[in-house]
Each structure stands twice: as structure tokens, then as C-alpha cells.
Amino acid sequence: MELIIVWYLRMSIIYFVAGAGIGIMMILEPSTAGHYVTSHAHLNLLGFMSMMIYGVGYHILPKFSGRHIYSSRIMHIQFWLANAGLIGLAAGWPLRAGGNAADAAASLLIISAAVTVGSVVLFAVNILKTVKAVQM
Ligand code: HEM
Ligand code: HEM
């Protein structure tokens, strides 16, 4: 397995632990849970679930198609965009909800959302250019 794919899987597990930790924290501190629920949801859904799918997909889908990944370079760039975007979103939502530095948090959210969508588009292009029906 390529090192970058191992890192997709490692980051997925790290986000799962972080997402679950915030989940427990929200149960223990219901008064501030609303500040964290969106970060919790996206650490689990974009962090754990999507990052796991990126890693497993990059490993297995080219093999199913009998080909190499369309672009290893895109796979590396996407890794950094997906992680930077998610960390920006996960930090930006509670910062904005907390009211301190709300303007800076709003800007961080817009940039992070664009970076995250960029990472999704790169994944889409890379996988669609890779998968191909195998002649039976
Ligand atoms: C240790 C595990 C987890 C704990 C303790 C936990 C806890 C919580 C809590 C306390 C809330 C807020 C509920 C409320 O609105 O009052 C919540 C919301 C949510 N959780 Fe988790 N959660 C866990 C795992 C997960 C996982 C694995 C996922 C997804 C894969 C997930 C997805 C969500 C989503 C999407 C919401 C927002 C639902 C909404 O829009 O109201 N959670 N969770
Ligand atoms: C492409 C990047 C994404 C961006 C920029 C984004 C942005 C947002 C925003 C702005 C909200 C509303 C937050 C609020 O209530 O203030 C939201 C909510 C939500 N999103 Fe996403 N999202 C993204 C990807 C995803 C994905 C891939 C999933 C599921 C697999 C997802 C699941 C949800 C859920 C369940 C909620 C409701 C959670 C809550 O109650 O706060 N999102 N998202």
C-alpha cells in the first residue's frame, strides 16, 4: 500500500477519535453542545467516513479496473486540501458560534469550504479517470 494511502487511513482514524471525543464532550456539557455539533458531524462524516473512503477507494478501485491511478500527484494534492479544509471548518464553526473573532472565523469557513470542495472535485476527477469496465 502506498504511504499516502496509509496517511489517508491514519487521518480517518484520528478524525474518528476526535469526532467521538467531541460527541462525548457534547453529552457532558449540553449548554455548549450547539457550538460543536457541526464540527462533530463533519469530523465524523468528512473526516472519518470520507477520508476512509478516499483511502480505501484509491487503494482498491484502480485494482478492480486493472489500471494504475490516473494521477498520483492529484492523490497527494487532494490529501493536503482535504485535511486543511476539514481542520479549517472544524475550527471555524465553534469559533464563529463562540462570538469571539466571528468575522475571522467566517472568512476561515469560506476559505476552508472552498478548499474542501476543491478536494472533492480532485477526488471525483481522479477516480472517474481511473475506473473503467474490465472486458469479460
Ligand atoms: C462516540 C460516538 C458519538 C457520540 C458520543 C455522539 C454524540 C452526539 C451528540 C451528543 C450529538 C448532538 C445531538 C443533539 O442535537 O443534541 C450528535 C450529533 C450528531 N452526530 Fe454524533 N456522536 C457520536 C458518533 C457519531 C458518528 C460516528 C457520526 C457519523 C458517522 C455522528 C454524526 C452525527 C451527526 C450528523 C449529528 C448532527 C445531527 C443533527 O443535525 O442534529 N456521530 N452526536
Ligand atoms: C464539501 C464540504 C462541506 C461543506 C462546506 C459543508 C457545509 C455545511 C454547512 C455550512 C452546514 C450547516 C451548518 C450550520 O448549521 O450552521 C452543514 C451541515 C451538515 N452537513 Fe455539511 N458540508 C460539507 C460536506 C458534508 C458531507 C460530505 C456530509 C455527509 C457525508 C455532510 C453532512 C452534513 C450534516 C449531517 C449537516 C447537519 C449537521 C448539523 O446539524 O450541524 N456535509 N454542512
Reported as a single tens digit per residue, the pLDDT across 91-127 is 999 999 988 889 999 999 999 999 999 999 999 999 9
Tens digit of pLDDT for each residue in 24-69? Answer: 999 999 999 999 999 999 999 999 999 999 999 999 999 999 999 9
Residue pair 8/58 in contact (Cβ under 8 Å)? The answer is yes
> Closest Cα partner for 123 from 63, 83, 66, 82?
82
Give the number of domains in the chain: 1
Given this model, what pLDDT does residue 134 score? 73
Task: Please give the distance, rounded to the nearest whole angstrom, from the Cα atom of residue 126 to the centre of ligand 2.
Answer: 23
- 17 inside domain: yes
Give the residue, out of 29, 38, 40, with the most ligand 1 atoms within 8 A of its beta carbon, to mutate for a pocket test: 40
Mean pLDDT of the chain, nearest integer:
96
Given this model, what pLDDT does residue 100 score? 81
Q: How confident is the model at residue 135 (pLDDT cuts 50, 70, 90)?
A: confident
- 134 inside domain: no
Residues of the domain holding 36:
3-128
Determine the straight-line distance between the first and last CA of the chain, rounded to whole angstroms: 27
Given this model, what pLDDT does residue 132 score? 82
For residue 75, give every residue at least 6 positions away whose Cβ sits within 8 Å of its Cβ, in sequence order, or none: 4, 5, 58, 69, 126
- 135 inside domain: no
